[in-house]
Chains A and B, each alone.
Chain A
Amino acid sequence: MTEVWITGIGLVSSLGEGLDAHFEALSATAPQPVVEEARFAPYPVHPVVRLELDKQIPRKADQRQMEPWQRLGTYAAGLALADAGITGNAELLSRMDMIVAAGGGERDVEVDSQILAGLETAADPDSFLNERLSNDLRPTLFLAQLSNLLAGNISIVHKVTGSSRTFMGEELAGVSAIEIATRRIASGQGEVFLVGAAYNAERIDVLLNLALGGHLWKGAHVPVWTREGEGGGLVTGSMSGFLVLESPDHAKARGAKPYARLLSVLSDRCRRAPGEATENGRRAIETLKPLLGDRPVAVVSGATGAAPITGEERDFLAGLREEGLVGPVRALTSLVGAGYDATFPVLVALAALALSRGAFYGSDDPTAFEGETGDAPERILVNCWGHWRGEGMALLAAAD
């Protein structure tokens, strides 16, 4: 595959806004997460840093038409475009292709709660439900629930108006978004893409979903590798990562420099019988072996803390380390949280950031599995196994 350049990064999480804030937080010797423990107690989340929305979404009318996940994503997309130096470049934006990974479905918790209570005493519950929903739902809320309306808002606010596609499906959607953009660029089916996702963790309606799946971590925040003994669980984090991906020729022609080179993105799925994800990971590593270079690669992991898959991923990575293929491992999800669709774009952004700064990240791993930080990485492997499905991997290399 022909390499693809990452020429712009937009990043927002609980650790801050932008590249400097993230590098500073993560390159500390023992980086610490920002955790909100009170708001949804006893369930911790990583809250998004406070944003001055006006900086990237100038019109209040636009801000009002979005729910938090869309504002977060539209904001980060604006950061990525500005970082790539293409904000306001009408000619380029009009042919820029976009792939967004998204869930959606933010609910009006107040309305739901009132209706649920009312249904218990209503003489005719069905009729009551219809009447309340018809009267109480905000018409514009629907537009915040549609998965493709993050992309729609990015088109409106930032004028990205080539093709616009939204992939769905939790962590795997984020992997596929970057994978397909990369493949299209490498094969000449496009030259410049905006790719990314946003996740709003500060929603009690999604905590309910996680609880149904037995994936909701309760109590004090701990790093992902140490959750298995307690049954595993996710601490979700609000985050958004957007990347500008370009063919090297396109970037050179406009004088853009890469943060890093994306050498390959691979994905697969399985039913998650024990060992199946490892098989997929092994197959991906075999494919990537010729590109890994001659010293162990640093790994950024998207381990979610879900059991038993987080333990299987640790064993998989430990095996690669024994073979001398990988060096230090950093589950950055211990620090920014689990971000569903946004996880992989955020991790790829953070890997590119480390390569561009010539330093890998610190670790505060009580299990000591993650290993010493080591020298400046030349390549970083991003391993992203979804909490339920999907095995993704990316290999990035430092710019020449």
Chain B
Amino acid sequence: MAEPLKDHSGRPVVAVTGYGVVTSLGQGVADNWAALTSGRSGIHRITRFPTDHLRTTIAGTVDFLCDPETPSPVRTERLAQTAAEEAIAMAGFEPGRSFPGMLFMAVPPVELEWPARRAIYRQAGDTGDAYPRMIEAALRHNDRALYELTLYGNVADRMADRFGTRGAPISLSTACASGATAIQLGVEAIRRGETDRALVIGTDGSVQVEAVIRFSLLSALSTANDDPAAASKPFSKNRDGFIIAEGAGALVLEDYERAKARGATILGVIRGVAEKADDFHRTRSKPDGSPVIAAIRQALDDAGVGPEAISYINAHGTSTPENDKMEAMSLEAVFGPAIASVPISSNKSMIGHTLTAAGAVEAVFSLETIRNGLIPPTINHNVPDPSIQLDVVPNVARAANVSMVLSNSFGFGGQNACLVVAAEPA
């Protein structure tokens, strides 16, 4: 028998054997990939709720799975379920049977939302302060289903039930890096030999009015409302913020040898993972980029490769002035002048920023890029930023032989997470 395949550090190789995705572009890998590589935008006017008085009235919401009134945690769960079903089927596990592995889920924070809050208020008496009255009403009605929507572990718990995953699920948040962190936790568990496989999901269905207003108040969102499809313009000189969006990405990660032994198709490997926290500011990166630079370098080290091995970069590329500048600067620091010839594109130019889901969604697209030899473009790239000297694959997809991808994810709270995604080892 051949020696089991180990990575450069003697650890088990972590294979990807299935993946699934939902974004504003559609449901499923095939539809998303077709749209993404034809340069189509999923950004549109918000119709889920009235947008009077809002500075931003566009988003990449997923409107085809749930009614507009659906509470965010329910939509978040539905997105996750849809992506996970596709991933599990692709990996060759029977639908409806227990998934023989652990569950790691990136989920958005939850809270009582305005329609529910208002309904409780209207059931309350009409004297005294609002919250004490609402407590009385809540005790009378004892709406446990609504209570569960306020629990941060609820979505993952329901997914654990649905898919029969093993053990206690992990619900996590590292803000806009969450999807990448979920993958990292899965990779680490398989490397430790704790589980042969893991279902990892990043999901976010939390676009509701207060969420939009909160990001607006931090001046994070684009206000280019006139032409929604043109609003997300990563790395362009006229970029003016990100587009809030929804989606889910799910991956089945497996110990490579176990996957081979059961005859699974190896779709790629997660070769390197790294994280580095920033201590500079709650929403801004350290000006010298050192935490982002460290995260990229550590991911390459973890993968056992140098920057020259990277054939494509799936950018965080949010289209905010700050992120894109910092990301470009940090990549230059790691790659040197060679960065000018490494293609890099931002899926967010088409799907917007899927927040908690982004790292997982973009890992799925990174794998598709490798498997199809086609790089999705950065659309809306009409006014290049002279301070950003990157090959952003402007506007049109490009055929290329891609064997290894660096996928970046950065988030508020100093979160920097990088993945190295690669083709099946030869």
Question: Which A residues fall within an 8 A CB radius of B?
Answer: 43, 65, 98, 102-105, 107, 109, 112-113, 116-117, 119-120, 124, 126-127, 129-131, 133-134, 137-139, 141-143, 145-149, 151-153, 155-156, 159-170, 172-173, 175-176, 180, 183-184, 187, 189, 204-205, 207-209, 211-216, 218, 267-269, 271, 388-392
Complex interface bits, B138-160 against A, C-beta within 8 A gives 1, otherwise 0: 11011110111011110011001
- Chain B residues with CB below 8 A from A98, complex form: 277
Does B109 contact A168, Cβ atoms closer than 8 Å?
Answer: yes
Distance of A187 Cα from B12 Cα, bound (Å): 13
| Complex contact B52–A212 (CB within 8 A) | no
The answer, among B151, B167, B216, B218, for a CB contact under 8 Å with A134, is B216
Contact of A164 among B54, B120, B413 (CB under 8 A): B413
Partner of B157, one of A161, A167, A269: A269
Pick from A139, A166, A213: contact of B144, CB under 8 Å:
A213
8 A Cβ contacts from B90-132 to A: 107, 109-112, 114, 117-118, 120-122, 129-132
Name the residue in A98, A161, A172 with the highest tally of chain B Cβ atoms < 10 Å from its Cβ. Answer: A161
Q: Are B150 and A127 in contact (CB under 8 A)?
A: no
CB-CB nearest in chain A for B110:
A105
CB contact between A142 and one of B194, B214, B280, B411 (< 8 Å): that residue: B214
A161 and B111: CB pair below 8 A?
no
Point out the residues of chain B lying under 8 angstroms from A65, CB to CB: 282
| Cβ-defined contact, B107 with A168, below 8 A | yes
Contacts of A161 in B (CB 8 A): 276-279, 291, 414
The answer, among B129, B169, B181, for a CB contact under 8 Å with A269, is B169
A216, B132: Cα distance in complex, Å: 13
Interface presence of B262 (CB below 8 A)? no
Total residues of chain B contacting the partner, CB 8 A: 81
Determine the distance from Cα of A269 to Cα of B169 in the docked complex, in whole angstroms: 8
- Tell me if B345 counts as interface (CB < 8 A to partner A): no
What distance in Å separates the Cβ of A257 from its nearest Cβ neighbour in chain B?
Answer: 27
Nearest first, the 8 closest Cβ-Cβ pairs linking A and B are: A169-B153, A152-B413, A213-B147, A163-B275, A168-B152, A113-B130, A211-B138, A164-B277
Nearest CB in chain B: distance from A196 CB, A: 15
Tell me the number of A-to-B contacts counted with CB atoms below 8 Å.
243
* CB-contact partner of A208 in B131, B151, B188, B274, under 8 A: B131
Q: Which residues of B contact A116 (CB under 8 A)?
A: 117-118, 121, 130
Q: Is the CB of A119 within 8 A of B214?
A: no
Q: Which residues of A contact B111 (CB under 8 A)?
A: 105, 107, 145
User: Given A159-B279, A164-B415, A168-B109, A112–B130 Cβ distance below 8 Å?
Assistant: yes
CB closest residue in chain A, given B214: A142
- Inter-chain contact B160/A269, CB cutoff 8 Å: yes
Q: In the complex the two chains form, is B173's CB within 8 Å of A130's CB?
A: no
Q: Which residues of B contact A184 (CB under 8 A)?
A: 188, 192
A387 to chain B, nearest CB (A): 10
Known contacts A126-B49, A164-B415, A175-B168, A143 near B209 by CB under 8 Å = no
B213 on the A face (CB < 8 A): yes
Known contacts A127-B50, A168-B172, A388-B151; A133 and B209 CB within 8 A of each other: yes
Chain A residue at minimal CB-CB distance from B132: A204
Contact A389 B214 (CB under 8 A): no
Contacts of B54 in A (CB 8 A): 130, 134
Residues of A within 8 A of B51 (CB): 130
Residue contact B142 to A147, C-beta cutoff 8 Å: no
A-B contact pairs, 29 of them (CB 8 A): A98-B277, A109-B131, A124-B52, A127-B52, A129-B114, A138-B217, A147-B109, A148-B174, A148-B411, A155-B414, A164-B277, A168-B153, A168-B172, A169-B169, A170-B151, A170-B152, A183-B192, A187-B191, A187-B193, A209-B150, A212-B144, A212-B147, A213-B150, A216-B139, A218-B139, A269-B167, A269-B168, A388-B151, A389-B153
Asked if B401 is at the interface of the complex by the 8 Å CB criterion, the answer is no
Say whether B388 faces chain A, with CB atoms less than 8 Å apart. Answer: no
CA of A392 to CA of B49 in the docked complex: distance in angstroms?
A: 41
Most buried by B among A213, A388, A390: A213
Q: Inside 8 A of A389's CB, which chain B residues have their CB?
A: 151, 153, 157
- Using A116-B117, A127-B50 as known contacts, say yes or no to A137 and B139 having CB atoms under 8 A apart: no
Interface flag for B333 (CB, 8 Å): no
- Are A134 and B53 touching (Cβ within 8 A)? yes
Chain A residues positioned under 8 Å from B282 (CB to CB): 65, 143, 149, 152-153, 156
